[in-house]
Amino acid sequence: MKLRLTFTVNGEPAEALVDPDKTLLEVLREDLQLTGTKHGCELGECGACAVLVDGQPLLSCLVVSHECQGRSVVTVEGLTVDGRLHPLQECFADLGASQCGYCTPGILIAAKALLDREPHPTRDLIREALSGNLCRCTGYQQILDAVEAAIVRPGHASARDGRGGQS
Amino acid sequence: MSRRVIGTPRRRVDGRAKVTGQTRFADDIILPRMAHCKLLRSTVPHAKIVHVDTSKAAAVDGVHLVLTGHSFPIAYGILPVSHDEHALCRDVVRFVGDPVAAVVARDEATAERAVRLIDVEYEVLRTISSPADSLAYPEPRIHDYGDFGNVHKAVALQFGDVDAAIAGADHVFDDVFFFEGNTHLPIEQHATVATKDPDGKLVVYSSTQTPHYLHRALAKALEMPAAHIRVVATPNGGGFGGKSDPFNHEVVVAHAAMRLDRPVKIALTREEVFYCHRGRHPVLMRFRTGVSKDGTITGLDLQTLLDGGAYGSYGVASTFYTGALQTVTYDIPTYRFRGCRTFTNKPPCGPKRGHGTPQSRFGQEVQLDKIAEKLDVDPAQLRLGIVQPPDSLTANFLRVGTIGLADCIKKVVDRSGWRDKFRKLPSGRGVGLACSSYLSGAGLPINWNDLPHSGVQLKLDRSGGVTVFCGATEIGQGSDDVLVAIVAEVLGIEPFDVRAVTGDTDLTPVDLGSYSSRVTLMMGNAAIQAAERARELIAAAVSARLDIPKDRLVFADRRVFDSADPDRGTSFREAVCMAEAKFGTLGTTGSYTPPRSPAKFKGGGVGPSPTYSYTACVVEVDVDLETGWITVPRVWIAHDIGCALNPVLVRGQVEGGVYMGLGEALMEEQVFRRLPPKLSHALVHKFPSMLEYKSPTFLDMPEVFTDLIEHPDPAGPFGAKEVGQGPLLPVMPAVANAVYDAVGVRVDSIPVTPEKILRALAAKAAGKSARSGPASFPDVPWPETLLVTPPWAGGDGRAANDPKRPSHRKVDAGIEAKAAGMDKGTGA
Amino acid sequence: MRLPSYRYRAPKTVEDAASWLAESPGDTMLLAGGTDLIPNMKRRQQVPATVIGLRGIAALSRLDTREGTDIGAGVTLTTLVRDERIRSKYQGLWQSAAQIATPLLRNMGTIGGNICLDTRCTYYDQSFEWRQAINFCMKKDGETCWVATSSDRCLAVSSTDAAPALMALGATVRLVSALGTRDLALGGLYANDGMSYLTRRPDEILTTVHLPEPAGWRSTYWKLRRRGSFDFPVASVAAAARFDGDRIIEARIVLGAVASCPLDVPAAGTRLAGQVLTDDLIAAVADDAYALAKPMDNTDFELVWRKKTVRSLVASALRELRGDDMREARVRLARHPLLVVS
Ligand SMILES: Cc1cc2nc3c(=O)[nH]c(=O)nc-3n(C[C@H](O)[C@H](O)[C@H](O)COP(=O)(O)OP(=O)(O)OC[C@H]3O[C@@H](n4cnc5c(N)ncnc54)[C@H](O)[C@@H]3O)c2cc1C
Ligand code: SF4
Ligand code: FES
Ligand code: FES
């Protein structure tokens, strides 16, 4: 028996008929084909699968599909508003915070949740808030720099897509 | 003409895709009618397969196909000398995790359920759990090839009369070190999608660092012409060497997709990634070094013993690498290297960031610290006195070019406040220094031939757009960005104007892959050549049309113009049109082949490189005397990069290297549990999970102070050298040296853990040797030594003798002959 | 890794939950934040036929600090950590909660789930196939305990961070079943047995944790683990003491992760009562705790070392209670700044 799941994804109503044994991660990636959300363990041990559920960053690999009914989910695909990147996305791209980019969606989600609650975190607080996300590439420094830069970057800066010359 | 793109910190060209979740990794590929595959892996470490019963699995609703080793008669492997893998085991399983059968089903859950219904009957064989076991038990052999018994490879090379040089030295240092194995742990688990294209040819999308080698392996294992296989390397979610072998799962789904005529996907679990492994070899090593009063080295006698795991992988190359780069860093006039790799019933080891060199780098740098203390000189000073001279040939015939090591050392010494800290900090706190060098690309390909190592094609047309094609693989290091930046720089356009098509064996010319830090240098040089050829065509056309002498034409700001009168000129787009009109359809190519190595002896294929990078690092530690608990508050590192093409990426590689180095230094271990042999034959990975395999978190990572030393190297594109691997290497020994400075005990084994520190402190308190580390190096039946006269003594790079293979092998003659015949081509 | 099939039920009230649980307590499990249960189900360590999701029961997420403190079992660790009253009144609990797992897991994990957390062991917290390779173990599907092959009981480790802290603060818990309600001291909920680690009957639901008013009490929690986040404790200590000036009136010390249950150190209480915390006294209490700790070789780190560190942890905890400035030492040992987003 399939489960009819009705919820909100990235601000839009979503409905899916899913295998009830699936996790939110599997529903997002397989049934909604929102593959921006990643997985590195499926056991809660890496943070790659983080999404916002009702505004809180959770690990989608540990959320059962039944418990998504009626809730509001935001994935990395939902961070871009009106075709403009979120300041965090701009800064991550500009400052090398994303190397292979595989941990990036989860970290962006955790960072967004942080800035939504605390618009001016210290570097130590950013470290703590992101400590549920592993990255094997960057050594974290450029991620910290990027979050700090996003704190001061006004609203949605214009997208600058590798057009050379910018820092 | 100043550079516009190269050297400027920039957003990488694929940055937007990565931060929006649009980068398509292998598991993000979803195709219509796609089926899903799961592998059944061995639950015994070493056994004959008696019978595989797949009937229950095949009967499950939704199962399309069940496969066993019968479908895969042909062996493959990364090195020509060790084609010892089958996609699914046929007769023998060699470690817990070795794939035995596969199920393809309508979805992953069904495949997972069905695969558990396969029954395998095993006849258990003795478990070989360590190199000690491998040496003690030649039988049962894990493989029926290799040097002898369970020894995969034993090599012995000598350059000059090292025994005399050591005997005549003022001091002889004799130290044994151990470096535990560890793994890459890319956050992306390996995944592959295979499909039959509408023409009936095979297409494989995979998270591989080496699409070219996967292409070869698939052609061999599936008995298909390579021309009918297309391999597309999807961007890797981290590789670090762990995605450089052709893997079982890739071959299995390729076969299944052809059989079923539908797309088949496999996505490994984290546990399976631990079984793929190919990570850092555990290495026991012994350094005997002769040192003069003034701190110069007279000779080094190095022995290494590697735990290779169950398959060959890159192991022969890894073995040579444990002995390859000592001489590239320091001036060592005489040198003997003996290395031995054994087979054990564990996941195969292979290339991880630094491939084979970090282990002996650790030993050498810690021993240098001991030497400095004994001679009562500052360790930085000692090293400055022995840095290998630039533009020289080492005792083992490696040609080195520019060397920024002295500058690196001076930089970190200044920046860290070394002089005020070393031996001066309060008890419990300390600083340690270490250095390293690394190849900017292996000088020899894995399969010896005289073909280019990297090819680049450029397509330009009247749109003004430029597309660049190259087989290089984006694994996070930024190879697409380097490719695009170079083309944009040469043609005077913006990176955004260039489209990169990479890592696709149908569409792109061959590049050997993202390993051995070769991409920036080799692909970069090929890209420069292709772009310069295009510029040449465009310049010729513009010159003719606008009547400007060719040598006065400047390509910049998306224009082509007269340097004498910048207003005279045309847009880049117009310029391309002129060229297309003059020459017809535009396309250029570039290729790169490294210079020939002067090393002509057997084994000399491992180590040569067009140029070497250098790094120096200072680590500060804080050690709690009561618990041995160790914290790293700060790291200073300086890297000789030649030229930073995009400083944002370079810094990221340096810091990422420090990160991984600290992980290895302090916590990462790929270790195994052997259950009590009286009760069980089990030998299992101790904790194949991200929770228990400890990778440092945001809260464990110190601030890193990075400096780049930029002396352009003529061998590199715009002078660039590698940065992906070198900066990791000095971190582990620097940590161990810092611990000694802090608490006066030597931890001669990696990782440096609080338990080891406490044990050493206890030994010290009891008046015993203030050290934790291996006691001795075992007797290894070394083969006869290959004798090579060093260049300074007039050697020509050839061996003086032709040693017989060791005689104490119980190998059947046919296999032996085959192995001997294949014994070349290991330049990984 | 996929979840096994199961039937999911979502009650709105504790009463419904209790009566559904009573239908088949043997193969039904409660799901709170799922951060323990879901990985265990994926690895087939726990394979309930029915899962009762508690998150729809509003009553379980109440946090009430009027008389003492009542924490609903469904209160998340993040809620606890963000609560100023918890932070100021029950420092030890706050410190323990702030160091559990990761910020993301704390957003999901509940206090009830933490208290009932399955015991852990590196031979057990493994996939089905891995466990098959060791022919399983006593705790699930097998016979032998590989940690101590002659042991007749499972020695899996109690790994909850909050429970020691709560026990030191004198917590009681309420269990509700279709048959009725009972309250018991939190310590009474645990048995030193890796398999039957709770005295909770399978038909009971933990609904509330009650903490008495902490008048005069100071408390602290010290945790040791490899990394600053993610990792379970390999040894920990919760200490709480009621002071009259410098003098301790009563005190409790509870160790975590060195046995199959949180380990009360009764000798410490006796030794500390009526005393001023001198360095000698601290050392003696640390010895008491050291003697009691029985870590086994089934977590990260070597067991001998874990046992040794118990001394340092206890001493650090007591020094902090005495009022020593331990901030730097704590950051070094715990790798955690005890900073959290409020
Ligand atoms: C990577 C990782 C790291 C972790 N690190 C830590 C750590 O450092 N310290 C730590 O303490 N924990 C840690 N945890 C475990 C876990 O996240 C926490 O213990 C969490 O508080 C568990 O709560 P939960 O609500 O998610 O429990 P669940 O998984 O929902 O439940 C856990 C158990 O309690 C039972 N249960 C839940 N609620 C009730 C109830 N009301 N009545 C009766 N039984 C109930 C469930 O049936 C289940 O057996 C970690 C987990 C992961 C995955
Ligand atoms: S302590 Fe023994 S019985 Fe218990 S889980 Fe570990 S190995 Fe199994
Ligand atoms: S995939 Fe969810 S935490 Fe790793
Ligand atoms: S960028 Fe590769 S894992 Fe973080």
Domain spans of chain B? 31-125+187-238+243-276, 283-444+602-772, 451-592, 786-824
d(CA A127, CA A51): 18
How many Cβ atoms are within 10 Å of B499's Cβ, its own excluded? 15
CA of C159, nearest ligand number: 1
Please list, in sequence order, all residues whose beta carbon lies within 8 angstroms of the beta carbon of residue B656, skipping any fewer than 6 positions away: A99, A136, A137, A138, A139
**Residue A79 distance to chain B (closest CA, Å):** 8
Residue B652 in contact with ligand 4 by CB distance below 6 A:
no
Mutate to test the interface with C, among B271, B632, B666 (most CBs of C within 10 A): B271
- What confidence tier does B805 reach under pLDDT thresholds 50, 70, 90? low
- What confidence tier does B764 reach under pLDDT thresholds 50, 70, 90? very high
- What confidence tier does B817 reach under pLDDT thresholds 50, 70, 90? very low
CB-count exposure of residue B564 (10 Å: 0-12, 13-18, 19+): exposed
Report the pLDDT value the prediction gives residue B603, as an integer from 0 to 100: 93
Contact at 8 Å (CB) between B406 and B331? no
Contact at 8 Å (CB) between B539 and B553? yes
Q: Which residues of A touch C225 (CB under 8 A)?
A: none
Residue C146 in contact with ligand 2 by CB distance below 6 A:
yes
pLDDT score of B656 more than 80: yes
Considering only CB atoms, C53 lies closest to which of A67, A124, A133, namely A67
Q: What is the DSSP letter of B426?
A: P
Closest chain B residue to C339, measured at CA:
B699
Q: Where are the alpha helices (DSSP H) in chain C?
A: 14-23, 37-42, 77-82, 84-89, 91-98, 103-108, 111-115, 128-133, 162-168, 266-272, 279-292, 303-322, 327-334
Q: Is B241 on the interface with A (CB under 8 A)?
A: no
pLDDT tens digits for range B320-335: 999 999 999 999 999 9
d(CA C63, CA A52): 24
pLDDT score of C334 more than 70: yes
Instruction: Kindly write down the DSSP assignment for every residue of B569-605, as one continuous string.
Output: EEEHHHHHHHHHHHHSSEEEEEEE-PPPPS--STTTT
Mutate to test the interface with A, among C45, C55, C102 (most CBs of A within 10 A): C102
pLDDT score of B121 more than 50: yes
Q: What is the mean pLDDT of residues B411-427?
A: 98
Interface confidence, given as ipTM, is 0.97
- Is the fold of B283-444+602-772 the same as that of B451-592? yes
Q: Which of B157, B249, B347 is nearest to B800 (CA)?
A: B157
Report the pLDDT value the prediction gives residue B806, as an integer from 0 to 100: 53
pLDDT score of A93 more than 90: yes
Are residues B684 and C130, on separate chains, in Cβ contact within 8 Å? Answer: yes
CATH node for B283-444+602-772:
3.30.365.10
Q: What is the mean pLDDT of residues A138-143?
A: 98
Single pTM value for the model: 0.96
Which residues 39-78 of A have a C-beta within 8 angstroms of C?
42-45, 47, 50, 56-59, 61-64, 66-67
Inter-axis angle of helices C327-334 and C303-322, nearest 10 = 160
- What confidence tier does B1 reach under pLDDT thresholds 50, 70, 90? low
Return the percent helix, strand and coil in chain A, to nearest 5.
35, 15, 45
pLDDT tens digits for range A22-74: 999 999 999 999 999 999 999 999 999 999 999 999 999 999 999 999 999 99
Q: Which domains does chain C have, with CATH numbers?
A: 7-56 (3.30.43.10), 58-116+157-334 (3.30.390.50)
pLDDT score of A155 more than 80: no
Report the pLDDT value the prediction gives residue B822, as an integer from 0 to 100: 35
pLDDT score of B278 more than 50: yes
Distance of CA B656 from the midpoint of ligand 4 (Å): 9
Task: Dihedral sign for Cα A127, A130, A136, A137, please.
Answer: negative
pLDDT score of B291 more than 80: yes
| Three-class secondary structure of residue B685 per DSSP | strand
Looking at every residue in chain B, the average pLDDT score rounds to 95
Residue A49 in contact with ligand 3 by CB distance below 6 A:
yes
Mutate to test the interface with C, among A24, A43, A125 (most CBs of C within 10 A): A43
Chains with 3+ CB–CB pairs under 8 A to B are: A, C
- To the nearest whole percent, how much of chain C has pLDDT over 90? 95
Between A and B, how many CB-CB pairs are < 8 A?
211
| B151-159 vs B99-105, strand pairing mode | unpaired
Q: What is the mean pLDDT of residues B815-823?
A: 36
pLDDT score of A163 more than 70: no
pLDDT tens digits for range B233-258: 999 999 999 999 999 999 999 999 99
Are residues C55 and A67, on separate chains, in Cβ contact within 8 Å? Answer: yes
Instruction: Kindly write down the DSSP assignment for every residue of B705-734, as one continuous string.
Output: EEEEE----TTSGGG----SSGGGTTHHHH
Q: Which residues of A touch B19 (CB under 8 A)?
A: 76, 85, 88-90, 92-93, 98, 101, 104, 108
Considering only CB atoms, C104 lies closest to which of A110, A117, A122, namely A110
Cα–Cα–Cα angle for B164, B167, B171, rounded to 5 degrees = 140
Q: Which residues of A touch B17 (CB under 8 A)?
A: 101
| Three-class secondary structure of residue B220 per DSSP | helix
- To the nearest whole percent, how much of chain A has pLDDT over 70? 92
Q: Which of A54, A57, A76, A67 is nearest to A24 (CA)?
A: A67
pLDDT score of B821 more than 50: no
Mutate to test the interface with B, among C134, C303, C313 (most CBs of B within 10 A): C134
- To the nearest whole percent, how much of chain B has pLDDT over 90? 96
Residue to mutate, A45, A137, A140, A143, ligand 4, most ligand atoms under 8 Å from C-beta: A137
d(CA B810, CA B148): 7
Please give the backbone phi and psi of residue B284, each rounded to the nearest 5 degrees, phi first.
-100, 135
The domain over range B451-592 is classified in CATH as 3.30.365.10: yes
Considering only CB atoms, C337 lies closest to which of A26, A59, A124, namely A124
Q: Which residues of C touch A45 (CB under 8 A)?
A: 230
Report the pLDDT value the prediction gives residue A158, as an integer from 0 to 100: 34
Q: Which domains does chain A have, with CATH numbers?
A: 3-78 (3.10.20.30), 87-159 (1.10.150.120)
Instruction: Give how far Cα B401 sits from Cα of B328, B398, B440, B715, B775, Å.
Output: 10, 10, 11, 8, 38
Distance of CA B623 from the midpoint of ligand 3 (Å): 33
Residues across chain A: 167
Q: What is the DSSP letter of B539?
A: H
Are residues A137 and B109, on separate chains, in Cβ contact within 8 Å? Answer: no
pLDDT score of B808 more than 70: no
Q: Which residues of A touch C228 (CB under 8 A)?
A: 131
Considering only CB atoms, A132 lies closest to which of C8, C51, C105, namely C105
Distance of CA B726 from the midpoint of ligand 4 (Å): 19
With residue B672 as reference, give the H or E element that holds it: strand B672-674
pLDDT score of C102 more than 60: yes
Amino acid sitting at position B479: S
Distance of CA B464 from the midpoint of ligand 4 (Å): 34
Residue C187 in contact with ligand 1 by CB distance below 6 A:
no
Report the pLDDT value the prediction gives residue A164, as an integer from 0 to 100: 34
| Three-class secondary structure of residue C276 per DSSP | strand
Q: Which residues of B touch A21 (CB under 8 A)?
A: 109
Q: From the alpha carbon of A50, which atom of ligand 3 is closest?
A: 2
d(CA C206, CA C329): 36
Are residues A131 and C10, on separate chains, in Cβ contact within 8 Å? Answer: no
Closest chain C residue to B671, measured at CA:
C300
Report the pLDDT value the prediction gives residue B791, as an integer from 0 to 100: 96
pLDDT tens digits for range B11-49: 999 999 999 999 999 999 999 999 999 999 999 999 999
My answer on whether omega of the bond before B751 falls inside 30° of 0, hence cis, is: yes
Q: Which fold has domain B31-125+187-238+243-276?
A: Aldehyde Oxidoreductase; domain 3 (3.90.1170)
| Three-class secondary structure of residue B689 per DSSP | coil
Q: From the alpha carbon of C108, which atom of ligand 1 is closest?
A: 26
Tokens of A119: 């618009």
Q: What is the mean pLDDT of residues B729-750?
A: 98
Are residues C308 and B108, on separate chains, in Cβ contact within 8 Å? Answer: no
**Residue B109 distance to chain C (closest CA, Å):** 6
Residue C205 in contact with ligand 1 by CB distance below 6 A:
yes
Closest chain C residue to B267, measured at CA:
C1
pLDDT tens digits for range B703-719: 999 999 999 999 999 99
**Residue C342 distance to chain A (closest CA, Å):** 8
Q: Which residues of B touch C134 (CB under 8 A)?
A: 673, 675, 680, 682, 684
Distance of CA C51 from the midpoint of ligand 1 (Å): 15
**Residue C208 distance to chain A (closest CA, Å):** 22
**Residue C180 distance to chain B (closest CA, Å):** 39
Instruction: Kindly write down the DSSP assignment for every residue of B624-669, as one continuous string.
Output: -TTT--EEEEEEEEEEE-SS-SSHHHHHHHHHHHHHHHHHHHHT--
pLDDT tens digits for range C46-85: 999 999 999 999 999 999 988 889 999 999 999 999 999 9
Establish how many alpha carbons lie within 13 A of residue B369's alpha carbon, considering only the half-sphere containing its beta carbon. 30
Q: Is A30 on the interface with C (CB under 8 A)?
A: no
pLDDT score of B98 more than 80: yes
d(CA B511, CA C250): 73
